[in-house]
Amino acid sequence: MPTEILTKDGTPIVWADTTDYNPAAGVVFTRTHQIDLTSLANGAAREGEKADLGAARAKTFSVNVGLEIDVAPTAGTLIDVYWYSSYSATAGLANSGGATGADAAWPADGNEDEWAPQLLYIGSLVCTNDAATTVQRACINPAFSPPTRYGGVIVDNNCGQAFEGDAVEMYVALVPNPDESQ
């Protein structure tokens, strides 16, 4: 009997805002880690708190986002998402790209162009020309492979407009895709 190697979805690791995020609003993911994307300005970036992906983890994760922009951006503009890596479970230790390991503006010193090359690029949401009532959702990377057990996401807004004034439906989700032999 031949063996099949199948891929399944594991339990998502989800960055969203604890005060606003509302899975009852049509969002399918449950928040596990903090990031507040409320009113994130154009040209600004924000990092989420450090996560533990586990000592034994899936080789790849699909990365999904749901982002809401206050005023319709020009179609085709980008919101970039990066990964900061760490070998330490402690928030402020051993983070790449000048990340603090906490929900905070990134980078702390304002030198984004200097710090960004130390991050891993995950993918970009290519924006549509839709505003506030439309949450733009996409899988921005179907097979992201984090190199370390610990780390977090950084959302870099380059769409030309600020994000919505609440974070009810905004998230970044890493969905583990472990292989299973049957």
- 46 is written with which tokens? 């924000």
Mean pLDDT of 143-158: 97
- 84 lies in some domain: yes
- 60 lies in some domain: yes
CATH code, domain carrying 135: 2.60.120
Write out pLDDT tens, residues 79-136: 999 999 999 999 999 999 999 999 999 998 878 889 999 999 999 999 999 988 899 9
Mean pLDDT of 141-163: 97
- 134 lies in some domain: yes
Write out pLDDT tens, residues 14-60: 999 999 998 776 678 999 999 999 999 999 999 999 999 999 999 99
Question: Residue 1 has what pLDDT?
Answer: 65
Question: Residue 25 has what pLDDT?
Answer: 66
- 34 lies in some domain: yes
What is the number of structural domains in the chain?
A: 1
- 2 lies in some domain: no
Dist. CA 31–CA 23, nearest whole Å = 8
| DSSP for residue 9 | -
Question: Residue 7 has what pLDDT?
Answer: 84
- 3 lies in some domain: no
The domain of 111 spans 8-177
3-class SS of residue 153:
strand
The single-letter code of the amino acid at 170 is M
Exposed e or buried b for every residue in 93-120, given b needs 16+ CB within 10 A? Answer: eebbbbbbbebbebbeeeebeebbeebb
Q: Are 16 and 31 in contact (CB under 8 A)?
A: yes
pLDDT at residue 11 above 80?
A: yes
- 1 lies in some domain: no
3-class SS of residue 63:
strand
In which region does residue 31 sit, left (phi positive, over 0), alpha (psi from -120 to 50) or beta (all else)?
Answer: beta
Question: Residue 173 has what pLDDT?
Answer: 98
- 132 is written with which tokens? 């506030």
- 52 lies in some domain: yes
- 98 is written with which tokens? 């000048």
